[in-house]
Amino acid sequence: MPVFTGSDMLTLLPAIVMCLFACGTLVLDVMGRRIPRGRRWLMLFGLCGLAITGVSLWRQWSALAAGGLSQYTGAQGAVTLDGLGFFSNALVLGATVLLFLTSYRFLEITREHSGEYYSLALFAQAGMYFMATASELITLFLGLELTSISFYILVGFTRVDRRSNEAALKYLLLGAVSSGFILYGFSLLYGIAGSTELADISSAVSGRGASDPFVVVAVVTIVAGLLFKISAVPFHMWAPDAYDGAPTPVTGHLSVASKVASFAVILRLLPMTLGSVRSLWEPLLIVAAVASMTVGSIAALTQHRLKRLFAYSSIAHAGYILLGIIAGTQMGLRGVYVYLIVYALMNLGAFTVLTALHRHGIAGEDLHDLRGLSTTRPVHAALFVVLLLSLAGMPPTAGFLAKYYIFTALIETRHYALAVIAAAYVVVSLYFYFRLVREMYMRPAETREPLAASLGIRLSLYATAALTLFIGVFPEPVLRLGFRISGVGQ
Amino acid sequence: MDTILFFIFAIIAVVCGLNLVLQKHPISSALSLIGVMGSLAVLYLMLGAEFLAAAQVIVYAGAIMVLFVFVIMLLNAGSEKPGGKSWFAQIAGIPLLLAFIAVMGFVIETFLPALRSVRFGSFAGGTAREIGRVLFTEYLLPFEVTSVLILIAILGAVVLARKEID
Amino acid sequence: MPSGYLPIFVFAILAALFPVAALLLARLVRPSAPNAAKLSAYECGIEPTSQSRGRYSVRFFLVAMLFVIFDVETVFLFPWAVRYRQLGWFGIAEAGVFLAFLVVGYVWVIRKRVLDWS
């Protein structure tokens, strides 16, 4: 009988830490009702957990580096530590830290502050840990479900807001269908290989080839389910509603962390496991990428609700990231990693600004809520412009660099048509991001109510905007770190 | 014998499934869902998945159905009102359904000879003992992760339903 | 199908036949004389004032939900219980971890006063 060894412990350490701290938050919440300012302690306790998670991730990485290994599989083959997992986990960890920092004031204002919020965020993060590292289907699926279910609840967390409830319901129903699709595909893969290990599945599928009907159905259903998770067209219908209804910090987290982890799953399943049947899934991804860029960029033109606008913009960004996977070369893969880093930074920054717009008595979710921001809060407005430029892919910001990598990879692999289409939508996106700038700089303010600024909000805004600019101007250090963690070479 | 039983319960499952969709009143739909769950349990049993069959009856036909009926009561849902169908659905619905069945039948017919047919009773790994062995050795991690998943389900139930209480 | 289930199968058929047979028998034996007065409530009842399907409080739903969740948990523990001897201390530790998470959930539900009805 296999026993649980110390090295198994090491492969699971971050997940264990997250789950323990999530449980701790719950217990602290109900036991510490009478502690003055107890809710601040809850947040600090959660941040403490994140710090320890970071340390344990670093320990894993250094243990691997000390052994000279590029990957290590533990826990009866259920979890594999490799560059992809470390990269995704590091990014998700950063996103969760920003979530905690920006949520405090928001939850105070909406009077929804309780321990479940932090606990669910930590559980979601544990789920994303398994999404990024699982090398076995059951663990992978459980990771997906841990993440999705936590997010369904977080989306519906604002109980007074009907829109939040509606969003949670829509997200839950559509998400359950997509999980069903993925599970159906997984069960077919298990039927093909007789094993749930991704390595066995990879060899069994390559033995059968791309013309086998079971392989076709399995690939199509899995791709459909995964495209839903990254909100790519035609499985994007949930995104605008869920993004609009969710509490703003949760929207930011949903659009960044869950998307990063889902891209980790896509990278692990499609190119790494099902690479031998590339001819099956590549056309699907091409269609989804083009459709995502089209629908995302064009639908965003007419939105007047800020979070819906960013929902469509993130749909378009998912399309760009898919292009890197379609290119499939070393350059394309690096493009995906760079894009994910940059996307995480700029989107989290943008949602931090949206969170700050939410004040007592002001929902701050409409385009006109940005009016006059340049006079009332010039620093915020300027940083927001930096982030928007980056989202549009303009130099000298990081967004340009991300798009540069993707376009280079496309041209290297002779996907000229895709490159032209993608470039055309960059121009379109410039217009709708500029609409936000126009509201901030060319319209007078409607209210003198100051923005909801807390130390956490300011910190995360400054950090994301500064990093966006820094990567754009001096890309070397951050990119080298990213490539080193993800193991895709210099 | 096994084949006959299979067809009996497969037909019961399909008929109950159709009834579930066609019934006007949600309670009747819920009751036909019990029929679907029950006959599925028998099908699992015939394939040798004894534990799964028992779990299917206990959790789905039992607990989940109680929950469904509770929700129907909670919402006080009356009969479904007819109408609201688009002209497209009315005209094209049945032909499209037939076309779908034809295509599926063709696909299954074409590829079926290549498959090995199911032999009832050849699989013996579905007992609770066997599942206990696999679950606690090979799939140890998924088992523990499941408990976290259940904990999240508790959180979700309370967070989302609490709205109405206070 | 494992042959041990034959008695259950026979039992299920009998259980399904019994109410059908009883109703049919009663229908054959009794005289048929429908009358409006027979449908009215008398001595042992009062006239209904509203529909019998009233709207339930969400608390019932919450209890039902928690019941399902803990039901699923029991299903997971059952395989451990039948294999308890072979699994030994290692199995106890595993089941302990499994239960520990759920105990946290249970304590949280209790302390959150979710189950209080006052």
Please write the tens of the pLDDT for every residue from A138-171: 999 999 999 999 999 999 998 778 888 899 999 9
Asked whether residue B144 falls in the same domain as residue B73, the answer is no
The answer as to whether A15 is a domain residue is: yes
Kindly state the greatest CA–CA separation across chain B.
61
- What angle is formed at CA A171 by the lines to CA A22 and CA A115, rounded to 5 degrees? 20
The answer as to whether B95 is a domain residue is: no
- Among B62, B132, B146, the residue with its CB nearest the CB of C80 is B132
* Total structural domains within chain A: 1
C28 part of contact set with chain B, CB < 8 Å: no
Q: Where are the beta strands (DSSP E) in A200-358?
A: none
pLDDT single digits (tens) B90-146: 778 788 889 988 988 887 777 666 666 667 777 777 788 888 888 888 888 899 999
Give the pLDDT band of residue A3 (cuts 50, 70, 90).
Answer: low
Q: How far is C31 from chain B (nearest CA, A)?
A: 31
* Total structural domains within chain B: 2
Q: What is the mean pLDDT of residues B20-37?
A: 88
End-to-end CA distance of chain B: 57
Q: Is B136 within 8 Å of C80 when comparing Cβ atoms?
A: yes
- Give the residue from chain C lying closest to A28, CA to CA: C108
Give the contacts of A468 (CB within 8 A, at least 6 positions apart).
Answer: A342, A345, A346, A349, A386, A387, A390, A397, A398, A399
Give the pLDDT band of residue B159 (cuts 50, 70, 90).
Answer: confident
The residue with tokens 């502690």 is A35
- Determine which of C69, C72, C98, C108 to mutate to test the interface with A (most A C-beta atoms within 10 Å): C108
Chains that touch C (3 or more CB pairs under 8 A): A, B
CATH of the domain at B29: 1.20.120.1200
Q: Is C101 within 8 Å of A29 when comparing Cβ atoms?
A: no
The DSSP element (H or E) to which A72 belongs, if any, is strand A72-74
Give the pLDDT band of residue A1 (cuts 50, 70, 90).
Answer: very low
User: Residue A490 has what pLDDT?
Assistant: 43
User: Residue A290 has what pLDDT?
Assistant: 94
Domain limits, chain C: 3-111
Decide if A139 contacts A15 (C-beta within 8 A): no
Asked whether residue B3 falls in the same domain as residue B73, the answer is yes
Give the pLDDT band of residue A29 (cuts 50, 70, 90).
Answer: confident
The dihedral sign for the CA sequence A198, A201, A205, A206: positive
Q: Is C1 within 8 Å of B45 when comparing Cβ atoms?
A: yes
Q: What is the mean pLDDT of residues A421-447?
A: 88
ipTM of the complex: 0.90
Q: Is B157 within 8 Å of C108 when comparing Cβ atoms?
A: no
Q: Is B74 within 8 Å of C60 when comparing Cβ atoms?
A: yes
Q: Is A168 within 8 Å of B160 when comparing Cβ atoms?
A: yes
- Determine which of C58, C111, C115, C116 to mutate to test the interface with A (most A C-beta atoms within 10 Å): C111
Share of chain A above pLDDT 90, in %: 58
Q: Which domain holds residue A18?
A: 7-486
SS3 of B14, please?
A: helix
Decide if B136 contacts C91 (C-beta within 8 A): yes
The answer as to whether A2 is a domain residue is: no
User: Residue B108 has what pLDDT?
Assistant: 75
The DSSP element (H or E) to which A154 belongs, if any, is helix A137-155
d(CA A398, CA A341): 9
End-to-end CA distance of chain C: 51
SS3 of A81, please?
A: strand
- Average pLDDT of chain A? 89
Q: Is A138 within 8 Å of B160 when comparing Cβ atoms?
A: no
- Among B138, B140, B155, the residue with its CB nearest the CB of A120 is B155
The answer as to whether B70 is a domain residue is: yes
Pick the CATH number of C3-111 from 3.40.50.300, 1.20.58.1610, 2.70.98.40, 3.40.50.720: 1.20.58.1610
Q: Is A159 within 8 Å of B111 when comparing Cβ atoms?
A: no
SS3 of A24, please?
A: helix
Q: What is the mean pLDDT of residues A304-321?
A: 93
Q: Which residues in chain B touch residue C65, judged by CB atoms under 8 angstroms apart? A: 67, 157, 161
pLDDT single digits (tens) B58-88: 888 888 888 888 788 777 766 666 666 677 7
- Among A19, A78, A153, the residue with its CB nearest the CB of B155 is A153
d(CA A186, CA A222): 7
pLDDT single digits (tens) A378-428: 888 999 999 999 999 888 889 999 999 999 999 999 889 999 999 999 999
B17 part of contact set with chain C, CB < 8 Å: no
Q: Which domain holds residue B165?
A: 127-166
pLDDT surpassing 60 at residue B3: yes
Q: Is A146 within 8 Å of B156 when comparing Cβ atoms?
A: no
| Range B124-146 burial, b when 16+ CB lie within 10 A, else e | eebbbebbbbebbbbbbbbbbbb
pLDDT single digits (tens) A231-260: 998 899 999 999 999 999 999 999 999 999
User: Residue C118 has what pLDDT?
Assistant: 67
